Amino acid sequence: MTPNDLTIRIGGEAGMGLESSGVGFSKALTRGGLYVFGLPNYYSRIRGGHNFFSIRVARQPLYSHAEPVHLLLALDRETIKRHVDQIVEGGAVVYDVSEELPDDLKRPHVQFFPVPLTELAKERGGREIMRNTVIFGVAAGLLGFDVAYLESVIRDNFAPKGQQVIDANLQVAQAGVEASQPFQSDYPFKMEAIEDAPTRLILNGNEAFAMGALAGGCRFVSAYPMTPGSPVLHWFAAHADKYGAVTKHAEDEIAAINMAIGAAYAGARVMVPTSGGGFSLMVEALGLAGISETPIVVYNAQRPEPATGLPTRSAQGDLLFMLHASQDEFPRFLLTPGTIEESFQAGWEAFNLADRYQTSALVASDHYLAVAYRTIERDGLNFDAVHIDRGALLTQEELNALEETYKRFEITESGISPRATPGHANAVWTTTANEHDEYGAVSEDAANRIAQVDKRTRKMTGADRDTPQPTRYGPDTAKMTFLCWGSTYGPLREAVDRLNAESSQKANMIHFSALEPFPVAAVEEALAQSQRRIVVEGNSTGQFETLLRARTGRSVDGAIHKYDGRAFTPAYIVRHATEEV
């Protein structure tokens, strides 16, 4: 049997190398011409506790993970206990032959394939930790997938450790394929490689955003590690020497954003990656960037909170917080990418917006988008579109030609003042956290206060034209129109396809990848064609609904919320959409 797509899930304890091996097999499948959506699931601990990695694979593009499991790779009994009831009819569990299988874990519709995982890992590789390589060799054999693609990933991944380690892993992978032979005819779900398929990429949202930021000229990153934003700092640290970037592991988030403000003041393109708890510590300094009109980028990979919350889970609970963070009022951008491709675009575009408008550009990702791996086409990361716009940053020639005293905060019709970096004799000014006049000198004059507030506000007039506009997916006219932002794009897109294929209730969706400035005109136009509007978002109070009412006066007809720390699936949305009708 060759289904349109299937899900392979490997489970065990933290410390067993589940994510690294899961990503490795995902790469192998991608190299074999297939599309993959890979999602790690882990607790906030280094060792112990149940972890798993789900790999959905298909011959067509994927945008989400899925609930049913076709092949469960169990490195311990707990994995069987937790996931056996999600296995489809005819699906299978691969487990260590040394593991006794109690009757209460057996299911009549599920096949159980005992394999000597530990024995093969020790005999062929010399280490028990290699069981995950053995079990993916078994998976390749059962799927009818050419193990050569897995072997190519093994060679690449273990190259830094030397040929001996490479050879050991190749041997255990082959041992897994051989061990699968008695079960291959019984296992019905096959996913063979596609010959001569084009080369594709597989990466997650954090990686895509970091690559976009680097391409967009970011050369200073400061952060205090906080899941799930930390990998952006790690990525830059790994590439810093090659590309001339500075990475600072700060003592806390307050120091991180203040370091970034200082570097931006000096002219660098800067970024601070974090999560909601870290962003909470940054809000006073965010106000400093606001009043000093210093361009910075803050990347918030959201997780369920408040406080520590669920550090390794996903949520969309920071929307209104990010829009109103810090005291009083000042303009900012808020980008809300929903895909790997949009994460890359937001990575470079945020810096252009921050520089052009001399303000903060905030990017709201979340755990799901940040850590999930997806196969994309090579041109999905559109490097050709990348351009660098420093806005009203004065050149050396312009600074040399200045005859009047430089006004850093000059009142202009556009609200955007000429900006200079420190060091030129013709551009010396004062910057403080206080309200100031055009020269930067502290001022408590009422008329000046009004003029400076109006200037900062005026700079955003028409700025929504420079941000990504809402996109529609599905037929132009439909009974149900779903509204979403951020990472709900993928699951909702597949849900819309299912609803249109399986029912008479035709559906479409409108996705927002930027929410500040709010695209009022585009929203009004899109909603004018909708009959029934349903919001899909990962929080309990309907924060996007609140924003929509505040900015347009429009209400929605229903909402599908999810706030258990787990991401939406297409099946979840379809079930609840049916209830909404």
The reported pLDDT for the residue numbered 581 is 55
The three-state (H, E, C) secondary structure of 20-51, written as one string: HHHHHHHHHHHHCCCEEEEEEECCCCCCCCEE
Tell me the average pLDDT across 113-117. Answer: 97
The reported pLDDT for the residue numbered 26 is 98
The reported pLDDT for the residue numbered 579 is 77
Say how many C-beta atoms besides its own lie within 10 A of residue 500's C-beta: 17
Instruction: Compute CA distances 101 → 79, 104, 142, whole Å.
Output: 12, 8, 21
Res. 561: pLDDT tops 80: yes
Q: Is 3.40.920.10 the CATH classification of the domain at 5-197?
A: yes
The reported pLDDT for the residue numbered 532 is 93
Q: Please give the Cα distance from 218 to 446 (Å, whole number).
A: 38
Which ranges in 32-130 belong to alpha helices (H)? Answer: 77-83, 117-120
Res. 24: pLDDT tops 90: yes
Say how many C-beta atoms besides its own lie within 10 A of residue 192's C-beta: 14
Q: At which residue do the structure tokens 């351009």 appear?
A: 387
- Amino acid type, 433: A
The reported pLDDT for the residue numbered 463 is 95
Q: Please give the Cα distance from 38 to 21 (Å, whole number).
A: 11
- H helix or E strand, kind and range, residue 321: helix 319-324
- Amino acid type, 135: I
Residues 6+ apart with CB under 8 A from 10: 18, 21, 22, 52, 53, 55, 73, 75, 79, 132, 135, 136
Tell me the average pLDDT across 139-150. Answer: 98
* Cis status of the peptide bond prior to 337, with omega within 30 of 0: no
Q: Please give the Cα distance from 242 to 237 (Å, whole number).
A: 10
The closest of 122, 114, 111 to 98, measured between CA atoms, is 114
The string of pLDDT tens digits covering residues 376-411 is 999 999 999 999 999 999 999 999 999 999 999 999
- Long-range residue pairs from 394-398, CB within 8 A, at least 24 positions apart, any chain: 394/418, 394/419, 394/420, 394/427, 396/424
Answer CATH for 203-385 from 3.40.50.1220, 3.30.2270.10, 1.10.760.10, 3.40.50.970:
3.40.50.970
CA atoms within 13 A on the CB side of 415: 21
Evaluate whether 465 touches 494 at the Cβ level (below 8 Å): no
Tell me the average pLDDT across 358-377. Answer: 98
pLDDT grade for 576, boundaries at 50, 70 and 90? very high
Tell me the average pLDDT across 67-78. Answer: 96
The string of pLDDT tens digits covering residues 289-324 is 999 999 999 999 999 999 999 999 999 999 999 999
Tell me the average pLDDT across 267-295. Answer: 97
What crossing angle do the helices spanning 276-291 and 253-265 adopt, rounded to 10°? 30
CATH topology of 5-197 equal to that of 469-580?
no
Res. 466: pLDDT tops 90: yes
pLDDT grade for 43, boundaries at 50, 70 and 90? confident
Tell me the average pLDDT across 120-146. Answer: 96
The closest of 330, 554, 335 to 455, measured between CA atoms, is 330
Q: Please give the Cα distance from 296 to 502 (Å, whole number).
A: 46
Taking the alpha carbons at both ends of the chain, their separation in whole angstroms is 35
Res. 366: pLDDT tops 70: yes
Answer CATH for 469-580 from 3.40.50.920, 3.30.420.310, 2.40.50.840, 3.10.20.740:
3.40.50.920
Domain coordinates in residue numbering, the chain: 5-197, 203-385, 469-580
Tell me the average pLDDT across 196-205. Answer: 96
The reported pLDDT for the residue numbered 580 is 62
The string of pLDDT tens digits covering residues 146-159 is 999 999 999 999 99
Q: At which residue do the structure tokens 């059962």 appear?
A: 142
- H helix or E strand, kind and range, residue 454: helix 446-458
Q: Please give the Cα distance from 138 to 112 (Å, whole number).
A: 13
pLDDT grade for 181, boundaries at 50, 70 and 90? very high
Res. 533: pLDDT tops 60: yes
**Low-confidence winner among 45-49, 281-285, 344-348 (lowest mean pLDDT):** 45-49
To the nearest whole percent, how much of the chain has pLDDT over 70? 99
The reported pLDDT for the residue numbered 49 is 86
SS3 content of the chain, % helix, strand, coil (to 5): 40, 20, 35
CB neighbour class for 307 (10 Å; exposed up to 12, middle 13-18, buried from 19): exposed
The string of pLDDT tens digits covering residues 436-464 is 999 999 999 999 999 999 999 999 999 99
Question: What tokens does 412 get?
Answer: 């202009």
Q: What string of DSSP letters covers 525-569?
A: HHHTT-SEEEEEESSSS-HHHHHHHHHH----SEEEE--SSS---
Quote the pTM value.
Answer: 0.96
**Low-confidence winner among 105-109, 218-222, 436-440, 503-507 (lowest mean pLDDT):** 503-507
What crossing angle do the helices spanning 18-31 and 131-143 adopt, rounded to 10°? 30
Backbone angles phi, psi at 202, to 5 degrees: -135, 125
Q: Please give the Cα distance from 581 to 579 (Å, whole number).
A: 6
pLDDT grade for 234, boundaries at 50, 70 and 90? very high
Q: Provide the β-strand partners of residue 533.
A: 481
